[in-house]
Amino acid sequence: MHVHTFLGGHSTGTFEELIAAANANELDFVVMTEHFDKAYDTSALTLNGVYGKTLFINGQEVDTNDGGRFLLLPGTPESPAFAKMDSRSFLAKIHSEGRLAVNNYPDRNRSGVTDFDGIEAYSLHINAKAANPLTAVPDLLWSFPAYSETTIASFLRRNDDYLARYDAIAAEKRLLLTAGADAHSNKGYYLIADDEGNRHFGIKIDPYETIFRIVRMHVLLESGTPVTRESIIEALRKGHAFAGFDVLGDTSGFSFWAENLGVQGQPPATAGGTDSERAGRRIMGDEIALTNGVKLHAAAPLSARFVLFRNGAIMQEFRGSSEFTINIDKAGTYRVEGYLDQLGAPFDRAPWIMSNPIYVR
């Protein structure tokens, strides 16, 4: 999620480079977030549809007049006008049209409005800007050419501020948590370059192919559901997703779900709904009634240190296993972060997994 090309400025990335990188990484989908332009509709001109192995979704990055910045899915030709609107009016309009808005740069939002659908709780771009140049530059010169992904991973850190803002709102309402690559493919330094795009004797720090290996959104679809723009946006709307820092280890297969404690600890089956609902389960993004208690489960493809949060506060940690189970008897917003402590410093300071919550009511 959160990808730019030359269309919206601030980037030199081409469609050809982007498609090749997405296909090489075997990505199922890429959410485009071109900046708006007053002269033309970037949502119509960007990639939208399937190219090779990858579905591209034509989102945009838009501004409001009270400091709001949002990733809009899908985009709209009306996006330039949003810069003259306040956040509340903007959100009311796009929601009436069935669109999705994720607040990125939440620290800049002066409106106090929380009607958006999600928060970008981690941004690779913001993380990179926070790196100490005294240590970053030597690492980039020495290590990056041979170990590009590992070098970038050494600077990954948990964004405590953004996550605290997310947790404060998610304790009161359902809210999507996302992590954004904010991929621009615009950080390169060369001794020789020309206007035709030829570059020699230099280094490109953020090519799409490299950035796409760092942090990804994993979306959960009902079995048999095709991967389309509509199905991906709907899954994100429901919070059926988690963020994986796949550069540290493939997070595919992570799951976090809840079951009601019924008679003799057996979860009651329910008629209708999704496969999980019929089995008495609720997955990330869902609500579940507390009733006689709730059992939370998490499982990952690697052994990790799992941190369980309730309403943004650490409730319990689980170490040395690829899964955990816990019974809870309090309502709240529960989510999980996973850490690969076995990797050692500095990689143990970055989350490996950030789940969306399960809301126990």
Q: Which residues contact 248 (CB under 8 A, 6 or more apart)?
A: 153, 156, 340, 343, 347, 350, 352
Q: Which residues contact 88 (CB under 8 A, 6 or more apart)?
A: 111, 113, 115
In this predicted structure, what is the pLDDT of residue 188?
A: 58
Tokens of residue 118, six digits: 């999600």
CA–CA distance, 245 with 278 (Å, rounded to integer): 31
Which run of H or of E encompasses 95?
helix 87-96
Check which CATH number belongs to the domain holding 112 and give it.
3.20.20
Q: Flag whether 240 is in a domain.
A: no
Question: Are 123 and 171 contained in the same domain?
Answer: yes
Kindly state whether residue 221 falls inside one of the protein's structural domains: no
Q: Give the strand pairing for 287-288 and 332-339.
A: unpaired
In a shared domain, residues 303 and 202: no
Q: Both ends of the chain: CA-CA distance in Å?
A: 30
pLDDT of residue 275: 62
- The last residue of one of the domains, among 170, 195, 216, is 216
Q: Choose one of 216, 240, 264: the last residue of a domain.
A: 216
User: Distance (Å, rounded) from C-alpha 255 to C-alpha 285?
Assistant: 12
Domain that holds residue 346: 250-360
Decide if 241 is inside a domain. no
Q: What's the CA gap between 359 and 307, in Å, rounded?
A: 17
Q: Do 208 and 269 reside in the same domain of the chain?
A: no
- 212 domain-assigned: yes
DSSP letter at 356? P
The 3-state DSSP class for residue 204 equals strand
Residue 254 in contact with residue 353, Cβ under 8 Å? yes
Q: Are residues 40 and 145 in the same domain?
A: yes
Torsion angle (degrees, nearest 10) of CA 145, 146, 150, 151:
-30
Task: Note whether residue 231 is domain-resident.
Answer: no
27 belongs to a structural domain: yes
> Looking at residue 138, what is its pLDDT?
75
Instruction: Let me know whether 33 and 114 are in one domain.
Output: yes
Residue 188 belongs to some domain of the structure = yes
Residues 161-175, buried b or exposed e (16+ Cβ, 10 A)?
ebbebbbebbbeebb
* Shared domain check, 270 and 167: no
For residue 219, the one-letter residue type is V
Do 45 and 121 lie in one domain? The reply is yes
Per-residue pLDDT, 193: 58
Same domain as 13, residue 66: yes
As for how many domains the chain has, the answer is: 2
Q: Please give the single-letter amino acid code of residue 143.
A: S
State the sign of the Cα–Cα–Cα–Cα dihedral 247, 252, 254, 257: positive
Does the residue 224 lie in any domain? no
Spatial separation of the C-alpha atoms in residues 252 and 242, rounded to whole Å: 10
CA distance 101 to 273: 26
pTM score, two decimals?
Answer: 0.90
Query: Do 209 and 283 fall within a single domain?
Result: no
Residues 59 and 114 in one domain: yes
pLDDT averaged per 10 residues, the chain (length 361): 88 92 97 94 96 97 94 96 96 97 91 94 83 70 78 89 96 97 71 59 77 96 96 98 97 96 52 59 96 96 98 96 96 98 93 98 95
Give the Cα separation of 292 and 181 in Å (integer).
Answer: 41
- Is 190 found in the same domain as 286? no
Q: Give the DSSP H/E element, type plus range, for residue 236.
A: helix 229-238
What whole-number distance in Å separates Cα of residue 121 and Cα of residue 21? 24
What is the per-residue pLDDT across 197-211, written as a single tens digit (0 to 9) for each? Answer: 666 556 667 889 999
> If you count them, how many residues does the chain have?
361
* Pair 294, 261: CB distance under 8 Å: yes
Q: Residue 284 is part of a domain; what is its CATH number? A: 2.60.40
Rounded distance, CA 355 to CA 360, Å? Answer: 15
**What are 206-237's pLDDT values in tens digits?**
889 999 999 999 999 999 999 999 999 999 99
Instruction: Please check whether residues 284 and 182 belong to one and the same domain.
Output: no
Which distant-in-sequence residues (6+ apart) come within 8 Å of 321 by Cβ?
A: 303
pLDDT value at residue 36: 92
Residue 88 tokens, joined = 């509340």
How much is the pLDDT for 253?
95
